[in-house]
Amino acid sequence: MLSTRFVTGSVNWVDLGTPDMEAAKGFYGGVFGWTFQSAGPEAAGYGMFQLDGRTVAGGMAAPPEQGGPGWTVYFQSPDAEATAKTVERAGGTVAFQPMDVFDLGRMAVFNDPTGVGFAIWQPGRNKGLDAVNDPGTLCWAELYTPDAPTVIGFYQDVFGWETATMPLPDGSADYTMVNPGGAGLDAMFGGIVPLATDPLEEADGPYWLPYFAVSDCDATVARAVELGGRVRTPPTDMEGVGRSAKLSDPAGARFAVLQGERAE
């Protein structure tokens, strides 16, 4: 599961790019109870979504030429420059070269060999998200890809991930779960899904999908719709996991919610 004890290759940040930040504040505030804290006038509009005073995501207005509305998943790197070189050697591309973010850390943005964007965060004063797994916070990340074997090898080269597989419910392919190298199965934080197994995602294109934990999946979905969001996949039960739904916000940014199973 996700943890704030961040290590190399673990998810340590997630942020939203949107054409209308004010609308995003209202939507996510209504869905998850988030508030928005600006990072200051020098941060070009960037700021932090917070829940009970803890940072749970970032966000900023992003013009269409920067790729349109969407969530970006960040992974921890101990050396942004070295990671950028590894990305290129492994078949990916650098979208934004490593850069300092004040004294908070260093970041860079890449595309994997199939063109899916992701980012890295090399911590400085900002170590990453303050909270994960609790209702209203990030709890999982899922990659939909047209070439699972290639990207699994790519991310293993870049981050040293370890993997385990299980068959999808319909038996059409394997679901690959990932965890940081040496961290063990308890540190699994995400999955990799062949794009062709999901007609919805195949139509909309490959991407990293963030999941946010909720205490009531159906109520959250209803609230998202009330606030202008769209249901991409209605609430669905998965044995041993819980109840989840795929949504998009009013601008079209895709995300998912998960109500985990309660232990008996």
Q: Which residue has the higher pLDDT, 211 or 240?
A: 211
Give me the percent of the chain exceeding a pLDDT of 90: 87
pLDDT of residue 170: 72
- Is 254's pLDDT higher than 50? yes
pLDDT of residue 263: 43
DSSP secondary structure string for all residues of 80-103? HHHHHHHHHHTT-EEEEEEEEETT
Q: Which residue has the higher pLDDT, 64 or 220?
A: 220
Cα–Cα dist 159/108, whole Å: 14
Asked if 154 and 244 count as a contact pair (C-beta separation under 8 A), the reply is no
pLDDT in tens, 195-219: 999 999 999 999 999 999 999 999 9
Residue ranges per structural domain of the chain? 1-264
Q: Whole-model pTM?
A: 0.96
CATH of domain 1-264: 3.10.180.10
